[in-house]
A and B are shown apart, each in its own frame.
Chain A
């Protein structure tokens, strides 16, 4: 008889794996056992596994102090048939016991996702992404500088972007190190920088739509929707790299985390809108003529449409 033992923690993570063979296999705290469990609640000779005349594998309680329990907290009295793949608790120690004939799941082919993630961890690709992010950061700062340009100051935005990305990547690397014993900092850095680039592209598109439509609601919905999708993708990918969650767990976690972060970021805006304000809320975006497609309405039409505002004033002042 050959038995495989997996000592697991409460989360189900495998801490140790042992194989034992023989006519009978003993479990306990004493050092003459096949499986030695060092938790103080385990009796020196806690249990024994043996095969009977018909070839069934049996688990016997050797009159241990704290007993043996199954996953459903049922106490094993005396002798019971051993079920493969089940977690038994010997005192506080949890052990999953497999017979060597236990079936394993189908092999999973390495997908495009893994290929992508591996590409991202290469140093050349990371260097390229960092260069791209720096160029975009400097360009944005340069486009927002209207006085004499001091090149020392131009470095500030690059420094800011790289620092923020490094901090977030470090966070994920720590998670990865704790869960999977591998940090993969470079991969996370690449992912965060790509996210920041995509997010600024979304913001630019949002401003463009706001400028051309001159209405806040549709552009805000567009911007928030895309941002939600992008942030969710980043978190989902980061979880894939850093943890060993199942796909279902990853989806739930990513959705939850993204929703919370998005709510936190629009909360100040909502607070502001519920308070009384004396400043008028007109569209405050201006883009070059080449980015505008509307040719406008006549002045007479504008004056007529403006007449509708008088009746739209809200006298309750609550939202």
Chain B
């Protein structure tokens, strides 16, 4: 008798599983077929050749024909509007022009408008999903056709500088700008980046809402686009760097000195020690990096912060050997962001020796260099780089370094002052 009950229960369970799985898969397909005409491919067309120069995805958000996509999908157009056109391609093949309304480079969003508003659109959700809930990313990966990528909502990334949703599903290039829908078919995010292997990042709903809520002109004036972007970048760095400058930095022991530890939760720090058995000195380092950049164009990124400390000491080398080694170690300071000749000036540097007192009142002399380069299209914003190398000890040395991309003069100077003051010999 008991065995029979067990048997029936097992049968029932199997039946249930069989019915649920295809339903889950059917959900995705059903979802897609319902919204397929509200999601478009966004293409950048090179005027001279008539061929596509870039593509991504986008989706309609209101009855007036407004379409959301990523800024990086249309950045070639915003950089050189005279060379490109933007157009949409619908699932049924219909094409049409798109005009730019506004952009948000910090959140990698752009708003465009269709000439003829089709009247339908996708609703935005009012709340974010629950942790673990199924969500669906939609787009056109590698220009291969429309795809629904199901995945799981895993919350806003912990320790993220620019808030992103952590999505375990594979968003592919070409899907950028496409919507991410909850089970009710409402937008909870926008595809923006992939870290490969079932790990992707999405712009969350609240950022999208803020973007859409900002006043939009009828059509953007391209001449004022640079000013608008500069304003966004300055506001963003005022917040990020301003927060860094005004917060208290924890200190850490490092060699014979005290140096800043973790300055902020969104900075990821790594330690390193040279364990080559043949070297006759010891070298250890800590590096901290914000790891996220704001995309401005294919070769130009901004918005990241990085700092590094290196400790060198020796018992086996003589002073001259140690300083020859030391010279090699200070010769490789670089900015962390990519930039080209059209984007930035060359670095201008100021070198000097700084004298100070250690915590035990001994003389400390440091060779310091501070270098600056300005953004050409966004005047008043700079990439800055600082490198300090202790010069008073014969067989021990501390190298301190920081670099910030996209910061204004006032905040950069404050950060420099604070950084120098926070490195102290014991």
Residues of A within 8 A of B (CB): 142-148, 214-215, 276-290, 292, 294-300, 302-303, 305-310, 312-315, 317
Residue contacts A-B, CB under 8 angstroms, 15 given = A143-B321, A148-B279, A215-B351, A277-B346, A279-B347, A288-B323, A289-B392, A296-B352, A297-B353, A297-B354, A298-B355, A299-B421, A303-B420, A309-B349, A313-B345
Q: A215-B351, A317-B346 are in contact. Are A278 and B324 (CB under 8 A)?
A: no
Q: A289-B391, A302-B368, A303-B416 are in contact. Are A280 and B347 (CB under 8 A)?
A: yes
B366 touches A296 (CB 8 A): yes
**What does the 1/0 interface line of B82-119 toward A look like (CB < 8 Å)?**
00000000000000000000000000000000000000
Instruction: Tell me how far the C-beta of A15 lies from the nearest C-beta in chain B, rounded to whole angstroms.
Output: 57
Please classify how large the interface on chain B is, using the bins under 10, 10 to 19, 20 to 34, 35 or more: 35 or more
> Contact partner of B348 among A286, A290, A309, CB < 8 A?
A309
Q: A278-B339, A286-B327, A287-B323 are in contact. Are A306 and B353 (CB under 8 A)?
A: no
A302 touches B409 (CB 8 A): no
Given contact pairs A286-B389, A287-B323, A295-B365, a sample of 18 additional A-B residue pairs in the complex whose CB atoms are under 8 Å apart: A144-B324, A146-B281, A276-B346, A279-B347, A282-B333, A285-B327, A286-B326, A286-B327, A296-B354, A297-B352, A297-B355, A299-B417, A303-B413, A306-B350, A306-B413, A309-B370, A309-B372, A313-B373
> Contact partner of A146 among B317, B349, B370, B385, CB < 8 A?
B317
Q: Which residues of A contact B331 (CB under 8 A)?
A: 284
Cα A265 to Cα B340 with chains together (Å): 28
Instruction: Tell me how far the C-beta of B375 lies from the nearest C-beta in chain A, rounded to whole angstroms.
Output: 10
B352 touches A312 (CB 8 A): no
A279 touches B280 (CB 8 A): no
B369 touches A283 (CB 8 A): yes
Instruction: Tell me how far the C-beta of A277 lies from the nearest C-beta in chain B, rounded to whole angstroms.
Output: 6
Instruction: Tell me how far the C-beta of B382 lies from the nearest C-beta in chain A, rounded to whole angstroms.
Output: 6
A143 touches B324 (CB 8 A): yes
Cα A280 to Cα B417 with chains together (Å): 20
* Residue in chain A with minimal CB distance to B333: A280
- Give the contacts of B325-361 with A (CB-CB under 8 A): 325-327, 330-331, 333-335, 339-341, 344-356
B394 touches A299 (CB 8 A): no
Q: Which 9 A-B pairs have the closest CB atoms?
A: A296-B355, A282-B369, A296-B353, A280-B371, A280-B347, A214-B351, A286-B327, A276-B341, A313-B345
Instruction: Tell me how far the C-beta of B311 lies from the nearest C-beta in chain A, rounded to whole angstroms.
Output: 15
A147 touches B276 (CB 8 A): yes
Instruction: Tell me how far the C-beta of B372 lies from the nearest C-beta in chain A, rounded to whole angstroms.
Output: 4
Question: Is B76 on the interface with A (CB-CB < 8 A)?
Answer: no
**What does the 1/0 interface line of B284-301 toward A look like (CB < 8 Å)?**
000000000000000000
